[in-house]
Structure formats: structure tokens, C-alpha cells
Amino acid sequence: MHNNIFIAGSGIWYPKARVSNEELVNSYNQYVENFNNNNRESIEDGSVEAMEFSSAEFIEKASNIKSRYFIDKEGSLDINRMKPRVNNEHPDRLSMHAKVGIKAAKKAMKQANVSPSQIDAVIVGTSHAPRNYPALAIEIQNEMGIKGYAYDMLVGCSSTTFAINNAYSDIASGLAETILVINPEINTPHVNFTQRDKHFIFGDGCAACVVQKNSNSNNAYKIIDRKLHTQFSNNIRSNFGYLNRAAIDVKTNEELLFHQNGRGVFKDVCPLVASLISNQLEKNNILPHEVAKFWLHQANGKMIRLITSKILGTDDFDESITPMPIINFGNLASVGSLFAFNLDNDLEPGQKGVICSFGAGYSVCSIIVEKL
């Protein structure tokens, strides 16, 4: 690539409240016991299906997740509520997404050694937007005193890398020289904590990075190549939207929440992502074993290992090349790959890594970077 465009710095934010598998299971199993007791007769006559208990061992075996962080632990674990407590947005107050976005953004700007006056644009990419308009990016732009332009974008769990790609394109086209990319993922309000196969998946968090032309930051990574791919699938879907209030076929909130066909996603996405990254590396004359880190979407530990093994052509590899913050943070939707990058990117100058997000859509975006 002829453009000298860099990820000049990154930052992350996550809530203070850590939730272990044991705490999550204790709450869920109490809910299940109450449900089964309250519906005993219907369960016995077959008109209602009994709920199945869970365990910490089941969660870790299925996902590698040991804990996650919630914006509201108490509400999410309350067996009479089973969802976080949040306030409706108020036009006179800074939104929750903007607050956490700014916290991550300030860390990224400090690492990149840039001030608000040096930023030309703000791009917010997320899989869970708090509203349709006004754009969250413009709210943050206003609060931080940034000039230029700002916009939001949604591509499911690929939103972070797609946003970095857009920042690169805007800079390459001459629209801007320094762009702040922010990715708030407040996931727990969209989680059904009463479903055994879904209640443990997500945590809350936010990441941000500064994409810049000709960076002199000590933490800069040059963007070598970008590759994007999408193909339609309903295997990961959310049906929440403004049409719900007008729908004549009324659905419950539970029916509108995050839905996933996990087996279908695993079967479809693992070979897709492995092939895309392998072809990208080949195009750039980079051998798989020359990649120092694979910072992949933190969907599932098994997926991360399988994709990496397919790229390397072996199951026998040092797992330190594939950082897995999913163990402590859970699935963070689109920011998982940038959490992995931020927490484990101590590469030597000239070493290369791959940042890759994938998810709903299906969508995949892979970015090859080189330490400055």
C-alpha cells in the first residue's frame, strides 16, 4: 500500500462489576427452579417444557468464558428482573454510550499523543446502537469539542474493523488526516438472561482507536492491507426496531432479542474467516507463521483456535499468538478484537499482526498491521 496510515493508539473501557460464571449460574438456576415449581402441573401434562439447569462447567466448556463485566450486575442477576436497570435517554443529559465512548477515546488519544483539536472526524461503529438519531458520533464530537464531521455505522460484530476501514478510506481520499474511531458495546440490555444457551455469552465494554496519517506515536501500527466480505444469513439476528410498535403480529421482547443459531454460525464462519485471512496473507506475500499475533473476534474460544489452526495448517501452535480476552470479559460483540489488540500488542518493530472481526451479516473485516 502506498498510504502511510496507522492505528496510532487504542484504549478500552469496561464496567467495574465483574460477574463470574458461578454467580451467573446461581441466579439462572434459581430462576429455573422457580419457573419449574410454578409450572409443575403444566410440565407434568406436557403443555409446558421444563427449563434446564446450567453450570459453570457447561459455560466454560462451551465458550471458554470464565467471567464478564456488566453495567448493572444487581438487576441482571435479580431473579425477579433478569435484565440490567438502565434509564431512558434524556436530551439534556449525555447518553450512557457517549460517556463510555469518551472514556475509551481519551485513553486512545493519550496513547496516540493527539488532542481534540487535531481530530478531523469521529466514526462510531457498534452492533447495539442506543437510538436511530441524532448520531452518537455527533453527540461525542460535540461533547469533546471536535470539529469536522461524525457518523455512526452498524455491521454487527464486524462494526469495529469496518469503522477502522472507513477511517482508512476517508484518510486515503484526503477527507481527513486524523480520525477517532469509537466502538461502545453495551450488550447486556439485549441479552435474555433466562435462556440457558445465551445468558452467559456477552459482557459490556467499549474500545476506541486513533487512525492517523503519518503518525509519530510510539504505539503506532501501520495498516498494510484490508479485506472485507459479507454474505447474508439469519443465523445471527436481532429484530428490535421502530417497526415493532406498529406490527400487527405482536412479538414479545424475548422474541425480539439477540438470536443465534450457534452450530450454524460455527459451521459457516470458521472456514470463511480462515480462508479470507489466508488469501489476504498470500496476496501480501506473508507466510502464516510470520504473523506475530492474530487478534480475532472474541466469539468463542473454540472458534478462535479452529480458525487459527486452519490458517497455520496445524493444531500444534503457541496459543499466545491468539490472545483471548473472552476468558475474562466474555463476548464483547464488535470490540473483542480491539480488546485483544489493546491488551496484547507488545510487538517488535517490523512484526506483523492481523486484526479480524466477524459476525452478524455474515460480515468479516481483516486488517493486516505492522509495528512501526
Annotation marks residue 365 as catalytic: no
Angle at 95 (CA atoms; ends 93, 96), nearest 5 degrees: 130
Write out the DSSP string of 53-90: P--HHHHHHHH---EEEES-HHHHH-TTT-S---PPP-
**Among 157, 209, 270, 365, the one annotated catalytic:** 157
**SS3 state of residue 207:** strand
**SS3 state of residue 221:** strand
8 A C-beta contact, residue 258 and residue 191: yes
Cα torsion 286, 333, 182, 342 to 10°: value is -50
Backbone angles phi and psi of 163, in degrees to 5: -65, -40
CA atoms within 13 A on the CB side of 230: 11
| Catalytic center residues | 157
